[in-house]
Structure 1
Protein backbone atom coordinates (compact mmCIF):
# COMPACT_ATOMS: atom_id res chain seq x y z
CA UNK A 1 0.00 0.00 0.00
CA UNK A 2 1.36 3.43 -1.00
CA UNK A 3 1.25 5.82 1.99
CA UNK A 4 0.79 8.74 -0.44
CA UNK A 5 -2.37 7.16 -1.84
CA UNK A 6 -3.61 6.47 1.69
CA UNK A 7 -3.01 10.11 2.67
CA UNK A 8 -5.10 11.36 -0.26
CA UNK A 9 -7.89 8.94 0.64
CA UNK A 10 -7.69 10.03 4.29
CA UNK A 11 -7.99 13.74 3.45
CA UNK A 12 -10.87 13.07 1.05
CA UNK A 13 -12.69 11.26 3.86
CA UNK A 14 -11.92 14.06 6.31
CA UNK A 15 -13.26 16.70 3.94
CA UNK A 16 -16.03 14.46 2.53
CA UNK A 17 -15.15 15.95 -0.84
CA UNK A 18 -12.63 15.36 -3.62
CA UNK A 19 -12.63 19.08 -4.39
CA UNK A 20 -11.85 20.18 -0.82
CA UNK A 21 -9.21 17.46 -0.43
CA UNK A 22 -7.54 18.58 -3.67
CA UNK A 23 -7.44 22.16 -2.44
CA UNK A 24 -5.95 21.11 0.90
CA UNK A 25 -3.31 18.92 -0.75
CA UNK A 26 -2.53 21.44 -3.54
CA UNK A 27 -3.31 18.97 -6.31
CA UNK A 28 -6.07 18.70 -8.91
CA UNK A 29 -9.41 17.04 -8.27
CA UNK A 30 -8.68 14.52 -11.02
CA UNK A 31 -5.40 13.61 -9.29
CA UNK A 32 -7.32 12.86 -6.08
CA UNK A 33 -9.71 10.61 -7.98
CA UNK A 34 -6.90 8.80 -9.83
CA UNK A 35 -4.81 8.16 -6.69
CA UNK A 36 -7.81 6.77 -4.79
CA UNK A 37 -8.60 4.47 -7.73
CA UNK A 38 -4.99 3.24 -7.58
CA UNK A 39 -5.42 2.53 -3.86
CA UNK A 40 -8.62 0.59 -4.58
CA UNK A 41 -6.84 -1.41 -7.30
CA UNK A 42 -3.98 -2.26 -4.91
CA UNK A 43 -6.40 -3.42 -2.21
CA UNK A 44 -8.84 -5.10 -4.59
CA UNK A 45 -11.69 -3.30 -2.83
CA UNK A 46 -14.04 -0.44 -3.63
CA UNK A 47 -13.68 2.27 -0.99
CA UNK A 48 -16.04 4.99 -2.24
CA UNK A 49 -19.50 4.57 -3.79
CA UNK A 50 -19.23 6.29 -7.18
CA UNK A 51 -22.98 6.19 -7.89
CA UNK A 52 -23.89 8.23 -4.80
CA UNK A 53 -24.68 11.96 -5.18
CA UNK A 54 -22.94 12.65 -1.87
CA UNK A 55 -19.51 11.49 -0.68
CA UNK A 56 -20.23 8.01 0.68
CA UNK A 57 -17.85 5.29 1.85
CA UNK A 58 -18.35 1.58 1.40
CA UNK A 59 -17.97 -0.71 4.43
CA UNK A 60 -14.31 -1.30 3.46
CA UNK A 61 -13.83 2.45 3.04
CA UNK A 62 -15.19 3.18 6.51
CA UNK A 63 -12.90 0.58 8.08
CA UNK A 64 -9.83 1.84 6.21
CA UNK A 65 -10.59 5.47 7.15
CA UNK A 66 -10.90 4.47 10.80
CA UNK A 67 -7.52 2.69 10.73
CA UNK A 68 -5.85 5.45 8.73
CA UNK A 69 -6.80 7.98 11.42
CA UNK A 70 -4.53 6.14 13.87
CA UNK A 71 -1.73 6.03 11.29
CA UNK A 72 -1.74 9.75 10.54
CA UNK A 73 -2.19 10.73 14.20
CA UNK A 74 1.02 8.80 14.93
CA UNK A 75 2.79 10.43 12.00
CA UNK A 76 1.62 13.82 13.26
CA UNK A 77 3.02 13.03 16.74
CA UNK A 78 6.37 12.08 15.20
CA UNK A 79 6.48 15.27 13.14
CA UNK A 80 5.61 17.46 16.14
CA UNK A 81 8.23 15.76 18.30
CA UNK A 82 10.91 16.28 15.64
CA UNK A 83 9.94 19.95 15.34
CA UNK A 84 10.42 20.40 19.09
CA UNK A 85 13.85 18.77 18.96
CA UNK A 86 14.85 20.83 15.90
CA UNK A 87 13.74 24.09 17.49
CA UNK A 88 14.99 23.55 21.04
CA UNK A 89 17.76 20.99 20.50
CA UNK A 90 16.27 19.05 23.40
CA UNK A 91 12.97 17.70 24.62
CA UNK A 92 10.16 20.15 25.28
CA UNK A 93 6.73 19.33 26.67
CA UNK A 94 3.38 20.87 25.84
CA UNK A 95 0.91 21.04 28.72
CA UNK A 96 -2.83 21.28 28.14
CA UNK A 97 -5.70 21.96 30.51
CA UNK A 98 -9.40 22.67 30.37
CA UNK A 99 -10.50 26.26 30.97
CA UNK A 100 -11.87 25.44 34.43
CA UNK A 101 -8.45 24.20 35.55
CA UNK A 102 -6.21 26.20 33.25
CA UNK A 103 -7.42 29.65 34.17
CA UNK A 104 -7.51 29.47 37.99
CA UNK A 105 -4.93 26.83 38.90
CA UNK A 106 -2.53 25.93 36.04
CA UNK A 107 -0.37 29.09 36.43
CA UNK A 108 0.35 28.15 40.07
CA UNK A 109 1.16 24.57 39.07
CA UNK A 110 3.57 25.65 36.34
CA UNK A 111 5.36 28.20 38.56
CA UNK A 112 6.06 25.50 41.15
CA UNK A 113 6.99 22.95 38.49
CA UNK A 114 9.53 25.34 36.95
CA UNK A 115 11.12 25.99 40.34
CA UNK A 116 11.73 22.26 40.73
CA UNK A 117 12.58 21.56 37.07
CA UNK A 118 14.18 24.68 35.55
CA UNK A 119 15.75 22.65 32.75
CA UNK A 120 12.41 21.62 31.21
CA UNK A 121 10.93 23.90 28.54
CA UNK A 122 7.15 23.91 28.09
CA UNK A 123 4.22 25.43 26.17
CA UNK A 124 0.68 25.75 27.52
CA UNK A 125 -2.65 25.09 25.79
CA UNK A 126 -6.08 25.88 27.24
CA UNK A 127 -8.78 23.93 25.37
CA UNK A 128 -11.98 21.99 25.97
CA UNK A 129 -11.72 18.28 26.77
CA UNK A 130 -12.53 17.04 23.26
CA UNK A 131 -9.88 19.31 21.71
CA UNK A 132 -7.28 18.25 24.28
CA UNK A 133 -7.78 14.56 23.47
CA UNK A 134 -7.44 15.33 19.75
CA UNK A 135 -4.26 17.35 20.34
CA UNK A 136 -2.85 14.55 22.51
CA UNK A 137 -3.31 12.02 19.73
CA UNK A 138 -1.74 14.38 17.18
CA UNK A 139 1.20 15.22 19.45
CA UNK A 140 0.49 18.94 19.81
CA UNK A 141 -0.12 18.38 23.53
CA UNK A 142 1.93 15.91 25.61
CA UNK A 143 0.03 15.94 28.90
CA UNK A 144 -3.46 17.25 29.67
CA UNK A 145 -5.14 18.07 32.96
CA UNK A 146 -8.93 17.91 32.95
CA UNK A 147 -12.00 17.15 35.01
CA UNK A 148 -13.29 13.55 34.96
CA UNK A 149 -13.98 12.53 31.37
CA UNK A 150 -14.54 9.05 29.95
CA UNK A 151 -11.96 8.35 27.23
CA UNK A 152 -12.44 5.11 25.33
CA UNK A 153 -9.07 4.85 23.65
CA UNK A 154 -6.43 2.24 24.47
CA UNK A 155 -3.63 4.56 23.33
CA UNK A 156 -4.53 7.11 26.00
CA UNK A 157 -3.54 6.62 29.63
CA UNK A 158 -5.60 8.28 32.37
CA UNK A 159 -4.37 8.82 35.95
CA UNK A 160 -6.79 10.11 38.56
CA UNK A 161 -5.52 12.68 41.02
CA UNK A 162 -6.89 13.77 44.36
CA UNK A 163 -10.54 14.50 44.99
CA UNK A 164 -11.56 18.13 45.05
CA UNK A 165 -14.39 19.75 47.04
CA UNK A 166 -17.07 22.20 45.96
CA UNK A 167 -18.01 25.30 47.95
CA UNK A 168 -20.76 27.90 47.92
CA UNK A 169 -19.30 31.40 47.55
CA UNK A 170 -20.75 34.90 47.86
CA UNK A 171 -19.71 38.46 48.56
CA UNK A 172 -18.41 39.43 51.99
CA UNK A 173 -21.65 41.19 52.95
CA UNK A 174 -23.68 37.95 53.21
CA UNK A 175 -24.14 37.01 56.88
CA UNK A 176 -27.02 34.52 56.91
CA UNK A 177 -28.29 31.71 54.65
CA UNK A 178 -31.74 33.39 54.58
CA UNK A 179 -30.23 36.32 52.67
CA UNK A 180 -29.72 33.93 49.75
CA UNK A 181 -33.49 33.79 49.21
CA UNK A 182 -33.33 37.30 47.76
CA UNK A 183 -30.02 36.83 45.92
CA UNK A 184 -29.86 35.21 42.46
CA UNK A 185 -28.01 31.94 42.14
CA UNK A 186 -25.45 32.14 39.32
CA UNK A 187 -25.56 28.67 37.81
CA UNK A 188 -23.38 26.80 35.37
CA UNK A 189 -25.42 23.97 33.88
CA UNK A 190 -23.17 21.00 34.69
CA UNK A 191 -23.83 17.64 36.34
CA UNK A 192 -21.54 18.44 39.29
CA UNK A 193 -23.08 21.87 39.89
CA UNK A 194 -26.58 20.38 39.89
CA UNK A 195 -25.52 17.66 42.32
CA UNK A 196 -24.14 20.10 44.87
CA UNK A 197 -27.01 22.55 44.44
CA UNK A 198 -29.52 19.82 45.28
CA UNK A 199 -27.49 18.95 48.37
CA UNK A 200 -27.21 22.61 49.42
CA UNK A 201 -30.99 23.14 49.14
CA UNK A 202 -31.52 20.20 51.50
CA UNK A 203 -29.03 21.69 53.97
CA UNK A 204 -30.55 25.20 54.03
CA UNK A 205 -34.17 23.97 53.93
CA UNK A 206 -35.52 26.10 51.07
CA UNK A 207 -35.39 26.18 47.28
CA UNK A 208 -33.12 28.56 45.41
CA UNK A 209 -35.69 29.78 42.90
CA UNK A 210 -33.94 32.92 41.67
CA UNK A 211 -31.44 31.63 39.14
CA UNK A 212 -29.34 33.09 36.34
CA UNK A 213 -27.71 30.63 33.96
CA UNK A 214 -24.15 31.62 33.10
CA UNK A 215 -22.79 30.22 29.84
CA UNK A 216 -19.23 31.27 30.51
CA UNK A 217 -16.03 30.45 32.32
CA UNK A 218 -15.45 30.19 36.06
CA UNK A 219 -13.56 33.49 35.87
CA UNK A 220 -16.76 35.14 34.62
CA UNK A 221 -18.70 33.60 37.49
CA UNK A 222 -16.24 34.85 40.09
CA UNK A 223 -16.28 38.41 38.74
CA UNK A 224 -20.09 38.48 38.79
CA UNK A 225 -20.14 37.28 42.41
CA UNK A 226 -17.48 39.85 43.39
CA UNK A 227 -19.66 42.59 41.91
CA UNK A 228 -22.69 41.51 43.93
CA UNK A 229 -24.82 40.00 41.17
CA UNK A 230 -25.38 36.75 43.06
CA UNK A 231 -23.77 33.68 44.64
CA UNK A 232 -22.48 30.45 43.13
CA UNK A 233 -21.41 26.85 43.68
CA UNK A 234 -17.86 26.32 42.38
CA UNK A 235 -14.88 23.99 42.84
CA UNK A 236 -12.79 25.17 45.80
CA UNK A 237 -9.52 25.16 43.82
CA UNK A 238 -10.97 27.80 41.47
CA UNK A 239 -11.67 30.33 44.24
CA UNK A 240 -8.71 29.65 46.54
CA UNK A 241 -6.87 32.84 45.55
CA UNK A 242 -9.95 35.04 46.05
CA UNK A 243 -10.69 33.47 49.43
CA UNK A 244 -7.09 34.06 50.49
CA UNK A 245 -7.27 37.71 49.42
CA UNK A 246 -10.67 38.19 51.06
CA UNK A 247 -12.48 39.25 47.89
CA UNK A 248 -14.86 36.27 48.09
CA UNK A 249 -16.34 34.39 51.02
CA UNK A 250 -17.01 30.67 51.51
CA UNK A 251 -20.51 30.44 52.92
CA UNK A 252 -20.65 26.65 52.83
CA UNK A 253 -18.15 23.87 52.17
CA UNK A 254 -19.39 20.36 51.40
CA UNK A 255 -17.92 17.67 53.63
CA UNK A 256 -18.04 14.98 50.96
CA UNK A 257 -15.98 15.36 47.78
CA UNK A 258 -15.94 12.60 45.22
CA UNK A 259 -14.91 14.45 42.07
CA UNK A 260 -11.42 14.13 40.64
CA UNK A 261 -8.97 15.55 38.15
CA UNK A 262 -7.44 13.43 35.43
CA UNK A 263 -3.89 13.48 34.08
CA UNK A 264 -4.08 12.28 30.49
CA UNK A 265 -1.30 11.39 28.03
CA UNK A 266 -0.47 8.99 25.20
CA UNK A 267 0.89 5.68 26.51
CA UNK A 268 3.83 5.53 24.10
CA UNK A 269 5.13 8.82 25.58
CA UNK A 270 4.98 7.56 29.15
CA UNK A 271 8.74 7.03 29.49
CA UNK A 272 9.86 10.39 28.08
CA UNK A 273 11.82 12.23 30.75
CA UNK A 274 9.96 15.57 30.66
CA UNK A 275 6.53 13.93 30.64
CA UNK A 276 7.50 11.52 33.43
CA UNK A 277 8.70 14.37 35.64
CA UNK A 278 5.59 16.45 35.03
CA UNK A 279 3.19 13.55 35.67
CA UNK A 280 5.02 12.65 38.91
CA UNK A 281 4.93 16.30 39.96
CA UNK A 282 1.16 16.47 39.33
CA UNK A 283 0.54 13.26 41.25
CA UNK A 284 2.27 14.76 44.30
CA UNK A 285 0.94 18.28 43.86
CA UNK A 286 -1.93 19.21 46.15
CA UNK A 287 -4.33 21.21 44.01
CA UNK A 288 -6.62 21.55 46.99
CA UNK A 289 -5.46 23.75 49.80
CA UNK A 290 -6.83 23.15 53.30
CA UNK A 291 -10.24 24.76 53.59
CA UNK A 292 -10.28 27.66 55.99
CA UNK A 293 -11.45 26.80 59.46
CA UNK A 294 -13.19 30.15 59.82
CA UNK A 295 -16.80 29.92 60.90
CA UNK A 296 -19.21 29.69 57.98
CA UNK A 297 -22.57 31.46 57.97
CA UNK A 298 -25.67 29.61 59.12
Structure 2
Protein backbone atom coordinates (compact mmCIF):
# COMPACT_ATOMS: atom_id res chain seq x y z
CA UNK A 1 0.00 0.00 0.00
CA UNK A 2 1.34 3.44 -0.98
CA UNK A 3 1.30 5.80 2.04
CA UNK A 4 0.82 8.76 -0.33
CA UNK A 5 -2.37 7.21 -1.72
CA UNK A 6 -3.56 6.47 1.81
CA UNK A 7 -2.93 10.09 2.85
CA UNK A 8 -5.05 11.39 -0.02
CA UNK A 9 -7.84 8.95 0.88
CA UNK A 10 -7.58 9.99 4.56
CA UNK A 11 -7.88 13.71 3.75
CA UNK A 12 -10.81 13.11 1.39
CA UNK A 13 -12.59 11.26 4.21
CA UNK A 14 -11.76 14.01 6.69
CA UNK A 15 -13.13 16.70 4.39
CA UNK A 16 -15.94 14.48 2.98
CA UNK A 17 -15.09 16.03 -0.36
CA UNK A 18 -12.62 15.47 -3.21
CA UNK A 19 -12.60 19.21 -3.92
CA UNK A 20 -11.77 20.26 -0.34
CA UNK A 21 -9.14 17.53 -0.04
CA UNK A 22 -7.53 18.73 -3.28
CA UNK A 23 -7.30 22.30 -1.95
CA UNK A 24 -5.82 21.10 1.34
CA UNK A 25 -3.22 18.94 -0.44
CA UNK A 26 -2.49 21.51 -3.20
CA UNK A 27 -3.32 19.09 -6.00
CA UNK A 28 -6.11 18.88 -8.56
CA UNK A 29 -9.46 17.23 -7.88
CA UNK A 30 -8.79 14.73 -10.67
CA UNK A 31 -5.47 13.80 -9.00
CA UNK A 32 -7.35 13.00 -5.78
CA UNK A 33 -9.77 10.77 -7.69
CA UNK A 34 -7.00 8.99 -9.62
CA UNK A 35 -4.87 8.28 -6.52
CA UNK A 36 -7.83 6.89 -4.60
CA UNK A 37 -8.71 4.63 -7.57
CA UNK A 38 -5.10 3.38 -7.48
CA UNK A 39 -5.49 2.62 -3.76
CA UNK A 40 -8.72 0.73 -4.46
CA UNK A 41 -7.00 -1.22 -7.25
CA UNK A 42 -4.11 -2.15 -4.91
CA UNK A 43 -6.50 -3.36 -2.21
CA UNK A 44 -8.99 -4.95 -4.59
CA UNK A 45 -11.79 -3.18 -2.75
CA UNK A 46 -14.14 -0.28 -3.46
CA UNK A 47 -13.71 2.38 -0.76
CA UNK A 48 -16.07 5.13 -1.92
CA UNK A 49 -19.59 4.76 -3.37
CA UNK A 50 -19.42 6.72 -6.61
CA UNK A 51 -23.12 6.36 -7.42
CA UNK A 52 -23.99 8.42 -4.32
CA UNK A 53 -24.69 12.16 -4.66
CA UNK A 54 -22.91 12.80 -1.37
CA UNK A 55 -19.49 11.60 -0.24
CA UNK A 56 -20.19 8.12 1.11
CA UNK A 57 -17.81 5.36 2.20
CA UNK A 58 -18.33 1.66 1.69
CA UNK A 59 -17.92 -0.70 4.66
CA UNK A 60 -14.28 -1.27 3.62
CA UNK A 61 -13.78 2.49 3.27
CA UNK A 62 -15.09 3.14 6.78
CA UNK A 63 -12.78 0.49 8.25
CA UNK A 64 -9.74 1.79 6.35
CA UNK A 65 -10.50 5.37 7.42
CA UNK A 66 -10.59 4.33 11.10
CA UNK A 67 -7.25 2.54 10.77
CA UNK A 68 -5.69 5.39 8.79
CA UNK A 69 -6.62 7.84 11.58
CA UNK A 70 -4.36 5.88 13.94
CA UNK A 71 -1.58 5.80 11.33
CA UNK A 72 -1.54 9.56 10.71
CA UNK A 73 -1.94 10.43 14.39
CA UNK A 74 1.20 8.37 15.04
CA UNK A 75 3.00 10.08 12.18
CA UNK A 76 1.95 13.46 13.56
CA UNK A 77 3.33 12.52 16.99
CA UNK A 78 6.63 11.47 15.42
CA UNK A 79 6.87 14.72 13.45
CA UNK A 80 6.16 16.83 16.54
CA UNK A 81 8.72 14.91 18.59
CA UNK A 82 11.38 15.43 15.91
CA UNK A 83 10.54 19.15 15.75
CA UNK A 84 11.14 19.43 19.50
CA UNK A 85 14.49 17.65 19.24
CA UNK A 86 15.51 19.79 16.25
CA UNK A 87 14.57 23.02 17.99
CA UNK A 88 15.87 22.30 21.48
CA UNK A 89 18.53 19.63 20.76
CA UNK A 90 16.99 17.57 23.56
CA UNK A 91 13.62 16.40 24.80
CA UNK A 92 11.03 18.96 25.81
CA UNK A 93 7.61 18.16 27.24
CA UNK A 94 4.34 19.88 26.41
CA UNK A 95 1.87 19.99 29.28
CA UNK A 96 -1.83 20.67 28.81
CA UNK A 97 -4.57 21.40 31.32
CA UNK A 98 -8.23 22.32 31.32
CA UNK A 99 -9.15 25.89 32.28
CA UNK A 100 -10.41 24.78 35.71
CA UNK A 101 -6.95 23.46 36.54
CA UNK A 102 -4.74 25.50 34.24
CA UNK A 103 -5.73 28.95 35.44
CA UNK A 104 -5.71 28.65 39.23
CA UNK A 105 -3.40 25.73 39.98
CA UNK A 106 -1.08 24.74 37.10
CA UNK A 107 1.31 27.67 37.72
CA UNK A 108 1.92 26.45 41.29
CA UNK A 109 2.49 22.90 40.08
CA UNK A 110 5.01 24.03 37.46
CA UNK A 111 6.94 26.22 39.92
CA UNK A 112 7.42 23.22 42.21
CA UNK A 113 8.26 20.94 39.28
CA UNK A 114 10.91 23.34 37.97
CA UNK A 115 12.53 23.53 41.42
CA UNK A 116 12.91 19.75 41.42
CA UNK A 117 13.79 19.29 37.75
CA UNK A 118 15.34 22.54 36.46
CA UNK A 119 16.88 20.72 33.49
CA UNK A 120 13.48 19.82 31.95
CA UNK A 121 12.05 22.38 29.54
CA UNK A 122 8.30 22.59 28.95
CA UNK A 123 5.49 24.36 27.10
CA UNK A 124 1.98 24.85 28.50
CA UNK A 125 -1.39 24.57 26.78
CA UNK A 126 -4.75 25.51 28.33
CA UNK A 127 -7.59 23.87 26.39
CA UNK A 128 -10.90 22.11 26.92
CA UNK A 129 -10.98 18.33 27.47
CA UNK A 130 -11.85 17.41 23.89
CA UNK A 131 -9.06 19.60 22.46
CA UNK A 132 -6.53 18.17 24.91
CA UNK A 133 -7.32 14.59 23.88
CA UNK A 134 -7.00 15.60 20.21
CA UNK A 135 -3.63 17.28 20.86
CA UNK A 136 -2.45 14.23 22.80
CA UNK A 137 -3.26 11.99 19.85
CA UNK A 138 -1.44 14.33 17.46
CA UNK A 139 1.58 14.76 19.73
CA UNK A 140 1.20 18.52 20.29
CA UNK A 141 0.63 17.78 23.99
CA UNK A 142 2.54 15.06 25.88
CA UNK A 143 0.59 15.10 29.16
CA UNK A 144 -2.81 16.54 30.02
CA UNK A 145 -4.21 17.37 33.45
CA UNK A 146 -8.00 17.44 33.56
CA UNK A 147 -11.07 16.74 35.65
CA UNK A 148 -12.63 13.27 35.47
CA UNK A 149 -13.39 12.46 31.86
CA UNK A 150 -14.23 9.09 30.33
CA UNK A 151 -11.82 8.28 27.50
CA UNK A 152 -12.35 5.07 25.56
CA UNK A 153 -9.06 4.74 23.70
CA UNK A 154 -6.54 1.93 24.16
CA UNK A 155 -3.64 4.23 23.22
CA UNK A 156 -4.39 6.61 26.09
CA UNK A 157 -3.52 5.98 29.74
CA UNK A 158 -5.45 7.70 32.54
CA UNK A 159 -4.04 8.07 36.08
CA UNK A 160 -6.15 9.47 38.93
CA UNK A 161 -4.58 11.92 41.37
CA UNK A 162 -5.73 14.05 44.29
CA UNK A 163 -9.33 14.86 45.22
CA UNK A 164 -10.65 18.40 45.10
CA UNK A 165 -13.72 19.68 46.98
CA UNK A 166 -16.30 22.20 45.78
CA UNK A 167 -17.74 25.09 47.81
CA UNK A 168 -20.50 27.69 47.53
CA UNK A 169 -18.98 31.18 47.65
CA UNK A 170 -20.13 34.79 47.51
CA UNK A 171 -19.10 38.33 48.43
CA UNK A 172 -22.71 39.26 49.19
CA UNK A 173 -23.94 39.22 52.81
CA UNK A 174 -25.87 36.00 53.26
CA UNK A 175 -27.15 35.30 56.78
CA UNK A 176 -29.09 32.13 55.94
CA UNK A 177 -29.90 29.87 53.03
CA UNK A 178 -33.28 31.66 52.72
CA UNK A 179 -31.39 34.81 51.63
CA UNK A 180 -30.25 32.93 48.52
CA UNK A 181 -33.79 33.16 47.11
CA UNK A 182 -33.04 36.82 46.36
CA UNK A 183 -29.42 36.41 45.23
CA UNK A 184 -28.60 35.34 41.65
CA UNK A 185 -26.71 32.10 41.13
CA UNK A 186 -23.81 32.57 38.71
CA UNK A 187 -23.72 29.26 36.88
CA UNK A 188 -21.13 27.86 34.51
CA UNK A 189 -22.46 25.11 32.27
CA UNK A 190 -20.26 22.23 33.42
CA UNK A 191 -21.12 18.72 34.57
CA UNK A 192 -19.51 19.19 37.98
CA UNK A 193 -21.27 22.51 38.62
CA UNK A 194 -24.63 20.91 37.77
CA UNK A 195 -23.83 17.91 39.97
CA UNK A 196 -23.02 20.00 43.04
CA UNK A 197 -25.92 22.37 42.37
CA UNK A 198 -28.29 19.39 42.58
CA UNK A 199 -26.66 18.40 45.91
CA UNK A 200 -26.99 21.94 47.24
CA UNK A 201 -30.66 22.36 46.30
CA UNK A 202 -31.45 19.12 48.15
CA UNK A 203 -29.59 20.44 51.21
CA UNK A 204 -31.34 23.84 51.31
CA UNK A 205 -34.75 22.39 50.40
CA UNK A 206 -35.70 24.68 47.49
CA UNK A 207 -34.74 25.38 43.89
CA UNK A 208 -32.53 28.34 43.08
CA UNK A 209 -34.66 30.13 40.50
CA UNK A 210 -32.66 33.35 40.04
CA UNK A 211 -29.77 32.40 37.76
CA UNK A 212 -27.26 34.11 35.50
CA UNK A 213 -25.56 31.84 32.94
CA UNK A 214 -21.86 32.66 32.66
CA UNK A 215 -20.04 31.45 29.57
CA UNK A 216 -16.54 32.13 30.81
CA UNK A 217 -13.57 30.96 32.85
CA UNK A 218 -13.26 30.60 36.61
CA UNK A 219 -11.35 33.90 36.66
CA UNK A 220 -14.38 35.56 35.05
CA UNK A 221 -16.59 34.00 37.71
CA UNK A 222 -14.37 35.27 40.53
CA UNK A 223 -14.39 38.81 39.14
CA UNK A 224 -18.19 38.77 38.96
CA UNK A 225 -18.37 37.47 42.54
CA UNK A 226 -16.03 40.20 43.77
CA UNK A 227 -18.33 42.79 42.22
CA UNK A 228 -21.21 41.40 44.32
CA UNK A 229 -23.23 40.06 41.41
CA UNK A 230 -24.27 36.85 43.17
CA UNK A 231 -22.95 33.51 44.41
CA UNK A 232 -21.42 30.48 42.70
CA UNK A 233 -20.35 26.86 43.11
CA UNK A 234 -16.63 26.50 42.40
CA UNK A 235 -13.67 24.21 43.21
CA UNK A 236 -12.20 25.33 46.54
CA UNK A 237 -8.63 25.38 45.21
CA UNK A 238 -9.65 28.15 42.78
CA UNK A 239 -10.98 30.54 45.46
CA UNK A 240 -9.19 29.64 48.70
CA UNK A 241 -6.80 32.64 48.51
CA UNK A 242 -9.74 35.06 48.16
CA UNK A 243 -11.56 33.28 51.02
CA UNK A 244 -8.51 33.54 53.31
CA UNK A 245 -8.14 37.26 52.53
CA UNK A 246 -11.85 37.88 53.22
CA UNK A 247 -12.60 38.98 49.65
CA UNK A 248 -15.00 36.07 49.20
CA UNK A 249 -16.70 33.93 51.80
CA UNK A 250 -17.75 30.31 51.88
CA UNK A 251 -21.45 29.76 52.65
CA UNK A 252 -21.34 25.99 52.20
CA UNK A 253 -18.66 23.29 51.92
CA UNK A 254 -19.60 19.93 50.48
CA UNK A 255 -18.63 17.17 52.90
CA UNK A 256 -18.16 14.47 50.29
CA UNK A 257 -15.57 14.92 47.56
CA UNK A 258 -15.78 12.36 44.77
CA UNK A 259 -13.99 14.22 42.02
CA UNK A 260 -10.32 13.87 41.14
CA UNK A 261 -7.78 15.19 38.71
CA UNK A 262 -6.61 12.90 35.95
CA UNK A 263 -3.20 12.66 34.33
CA UNK A 264 -3.75 11.65 30.72
CA UNK A 265 -1.00 10.56 28.31
CA UNK A 266 -0.24 8.30 25.37
CA UNK A 267 0.83 4.86 26.66
CA UNK A 268 3.80 4.54 24.32
CA UNK A 269 5.25 7.79 25.74
CA UNK A 270 5.05 6.99 29.46
CA UNK A 271 8.67 5.76 29.67
CA UNK A 272 10.20 8.87 28.09
CA UNK A 273 12.38 10.58 30.67
CA UNK A 274 10.74 14.02 30.92
CA UNK A 275 7.22 12.59 30.78
CA UNK A 276 7.87 9.85 33.34
CA UNK A 277 9.44 12.36 35.76
CA UNK A 278 6.47 14.72 35.45
CA UNK A 279 3.96 11.89 35.93
CA UNK A 280 5.80 10.62 39.01
CA UNK A 281 5.98 14.18 40.37
CA UNK A 282 2.22 14.63 39.92
CA UNK A 283 1.44 11.29 41.55
CA UNK A 284 3.21 12.45 44.71
CA UNK A 285 2.11 16.08 44.55
CA UNK A 286 -0.76 17.03 46.86
CA UNK A 287 -2.82 19.50 44.88
CA UNK A 288 -4.63 20.60 48.03
CA UNK A 289 -1.46 20.77 50.16
CA UNK A 290 -1.31 24.57 50.43
CA UNK A 291 -5.00 24.69 51.35
CA UNK A 292 -4.72 22.00 54.01
CA UNK A 293 -1.93 23.76 55.89
Q: TM-score range by the shorter chain?
A: over 0.9
Quote the offset at 1:49 in angstroms: 1.0
Query: What is the CA deviation profile of residues 44-98 of structure 1, one whole-angstrom value per residue up to 9, with x for unaligned ones?
Result: 0011111111111111011000000000000000000000000000000000111
Taking structure 1 as reference, are residues 19 and 205 closer, same or farther at Cα in structure 2, changes over 3 Å only? Answer: closer
C-alpha separation in 2, matches of 1:260 and 1:184: 28
C-alpha separation in 2, matches of 1:88 and 1:243: 42
Matches within 5 A, 1:164-183: 164-171=164-171, 173-183=173-183
Provide the residue aligned with 2:25 in structure 1: 25
Provide the residue aligned with 1:163 in structure 2: 163
C-alpha separation in 2, matches of 1:292 and 1:116: 22
Quote the offset at 1:191 in angstroms: 3.0
Q: Does 1:41 align with 2:48?
A: no
Provide the residue aligned with 1:252 in structure 2: 252
C-alpha separation in 2, matches of 1:271 and 1:71: 21
Taking structure 1 as reference, are residues 291 and 250 closer, same or farther at Cα in structure 2, changes over 3 Å only? Answer: farther
Provide the residue aligned with 1:222 in structure 2: 222
Q: Does 1:240 align with 2:240?
A: yes
Provide the residue aligned with 2:122 in structure 1: 122
C-alpha separation in 1, matches of 2:96 and 2:228: 32
Give the secondary-structure state (helix, strand or coil) at the position aligned to 1:37. helix
C-alpha separation in 2, matches of 1:237 and 1:291: 7
Quote the offset at 1:289 in angstroms: 4.1
Provide the residue aligned with 2:66 in structure 1: 66
Quote the offset at 1:172 in angstroms: 6.2
Query: What is the CA deviation profile of residues 10-63 of structure 1, one whole-angstrom value per residue up to 9, with x for unaligned ones?
Result: 111111111111111111111111111111110000111111111111110110
Taking structure 1 as reference, are residues 103 and 158 closer, same or farther at Cα in structure 2, changes over 3 Å only? Answer: same
Provide the residue aligned with 1:192 in structure 2: 192
Provide the residue aligned with 1:50 in structure 2: 50
8 Å CA contact 1:162–1:286 kept in 2: the answer is yes
Provide the residue aligned with 1:140 in structure 2: 140
Let me know the Cα RMSD of the aligned residues.
1.7
Taking structure 1 as reference, are residues 86 and 145 closer, same or farther at Cα in structure 2, changes over 3 Å only? Answer: same
Give the secondary-structure state (helix, strand or coil) at the position aligned to 1:7. helix
Could you list the runs of 5+ residues in structure 2 that have no partner in the other structure?
none
Quote the offset at 1:108 in angstroms: 1.3
Query: What is the CA deviation profile of residues 118-146 of structure 1, one whole-angstrom value per residue up to 9, with x for unaligned ones?
Result: 11111111111111111101100000011
Give the secondary-structure state (helix, strand or coil) at the position aligned to 2:203. helix
Q: How many residues were matched structurally?
A: 293
8 Å CA contact 1:136–1:266 kept in 2: the answer is yes
8 Å CA contact 2:18–2:32 kept in 1: the answer is yes
Quote the offset at 1:175 in angstroms: 4.2
Could you list the runs of 5+ residues in structure 1 that have no partner in the other structure?
294-298
Give structure 1 regions of 4+ aligned residues with deviation exceeding 6 angstroms: none
Give the secondary-structure state (helix, strand or coil) at the position aligned to 2:256. coil
TM-score of the superposed pair, with normalisation by structure 2: 0.95
Give the secondary-structure state (helix, strand or coil) at the position aligned to 1:281. helix
C-alpha separation in 2, matches of 1:248 and 1:289: 20
Q: Does 1:231 align with 2:231?
A: yes
Taking structure 1 as reference, are residues 141 and 292 closer, same or farther at Cα in structure 2, changes over 3 Å only? Answer: closer
Of 16-25 and 259-268, more deviation after overlay is shown by: 16-25
8 Å CA contact 2:95–2:125 kept in 1: the answer is yes
Provide the residue aligned with 1:99 in structure 2: 99
Give the secondary-structure state (helix, strand or coil) at the position aligned to 1:162. strand
